[in-house]
């Protein structure tokens, strides 16, 4: 059996498992709920009540309404990805890899003669398919919500350009894919879901923020933070949507240029997959 055929079969098998796994649908549902709340619900409540919430402080009603229109969908689509979307994808990636050890899946598969590299690459490919599906569903969901608000408020429908949609989709894919495969690598390193999920969330939500705060005082720490995954992901999104006034959207940064951030994120994607493959090939999975 060729490597390509083995990888394809592994991907199909993993997709079947993911489709039947409640954690996958819970993750997608949680992300769509967060996207609705922080992308539209709070802003719409601010607009209709005339009282800005924490998410819209310093904006006028006209600006709030503009953020709810279809033309703004690419920006809304991206804003929550560096922190909330990334954290959820990291959790899912850690569960996908970690449960392979916790449930004895890898041990069973490899004892039947399945080659390790195609199995791991196939599992990561299935995770990538889920990331792409999440992006498509999120984009359609955001557009649907925006169109409903547009019709409710009696506004003209102005669709975003294809270029802006493609740019947002590409950046979103890089960010969510990076966090997903980093979680996958953590699950492989820890050989279980619990520790890998905990480590990933602490790093993404706490450690990097602390390092960025310390970096304002120590130059070498600031240089280090510029190549960290959270900083790179946030800067990539910030180069497209902007960081706004004040603190802006959590996780959205302007620390490094967008092209450099995109390259760093892509490097993390490749490294995470390579690390996962190397570890599985060299270690005993018993």
- Helix/strand/coil (H, E, C) string of 22-43? HHHHHHHHHHHHHHHHHHHHHH
Q: What is the dihedral of CA 165, 167, 30, 212, to 10 degrees?
A: -150
DSSP assignment of 99-166: HHHHTSHHHHHHHTT--HHHHHHHHHHHHHHHHHHHHHHHHHHHHHHHHHHHHHTT----PPPHHHHH
First to last CA, the chain: 25
Q: Buried b / exposed e across 155-170, counting CB within 10 Å, b at 16+?
A: eeeeebeeebbeebbe
In this predicted model, what pLDDT tens digit does every residue of 121-161 receive, in sequence order? 999 999 999 999 999 999 999 999 999 999 999 999 999 99
pTM above 0.85, yes or no: yes
Interaxial angle between packed helices 229-241 and 258-282, expressed in degrees from 0 to 180 and rounded to the nearest 10: 150
CB 171 within 8 A of CB 262: yes
Question: If you search the block for the tokens 């933070």, which residue do you land on?
Answer: 225
In this predicted model, what pLDDT tens digit does every residue of 76-133 receive, in sequence order? 999 889 888 999 999 999 999 888 887 777 788 777 777 888 889 999 999 999 999 9
Q: What pLDDT was estimated at residue 103?
A: 78
Residue 246 has pLDDT above 60, yes or no: no
Q: Buried b / exposed e across 207-235, counting CB within 10 Å, b at 16+?
A: ebeebbeebeeeeeeeeebbebbbbbbbb
24 or 284, which is more confident?
24
Residue 220 has pLDDT above 80, yes or no: no
Domain ranges of the chain: 3-282
Which of helix, strand or coil describes residue 255?
A: coil
Residue 285 has pLDDT above 80, yes or no: no
């Amino acid at each position: 059996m060729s490597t390509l055929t083995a990888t394809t079969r592994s991907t199909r098998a993993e997709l079947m498992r993911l489709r039947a796994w409640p954690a996958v649908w819970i993750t997608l549902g949680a992300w769509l709920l967060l996207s609705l709340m922080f992308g539209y619900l709070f802003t719409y409540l601010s607009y209709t009540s005339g009282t800005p919430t924490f998410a819209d402080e310093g904006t006028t009603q006209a600006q709030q309404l503009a953020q709810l229109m279809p033309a703004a969908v690419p920006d809304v689509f991206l804003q929550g990805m560096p922190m909330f979307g990334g954290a959820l994808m990291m959790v899912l990636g850690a569960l996908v890899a970690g449960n392979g050890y916790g449930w004895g899946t890898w041990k069973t598969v490899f004892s039947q003669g399945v080659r390790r590299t195609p199995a791991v690459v196939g599992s990561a490919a299935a995770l990538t398919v889920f990331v792409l599906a999440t992006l498509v569903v999120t984009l359609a969901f955001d557009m649907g919500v925006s169109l409903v608000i547009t019709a409710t408020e009696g506004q003209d429908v102005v669709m975003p350009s294809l270029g802006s949609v493609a740019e947002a989709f590409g950046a979103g894919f890089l960010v969510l894919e990076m966090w997903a495969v980093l979680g996958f690598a953590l699950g492989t390193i820890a050989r279980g879901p619990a520790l890998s999920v905990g480590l990933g969330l602490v790093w993404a939500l706490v450690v990097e923020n602390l390092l960025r705060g310390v970096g304002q005082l120590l130059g070498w720490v600031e240089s280090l933070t510029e190549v960290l995954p959270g900083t790179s992901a946030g800067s990539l999104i910030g180069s497209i949507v902007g960081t706004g006034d004040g603190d802006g959207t959590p996780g959205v940064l302007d620390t490094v240029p967008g092209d450099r951030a995109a390259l760093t994120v892509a490097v993390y994607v490749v490294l995470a997959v390579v690390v996962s493959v190397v570890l599985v090939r060299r270690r005993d999975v018993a």
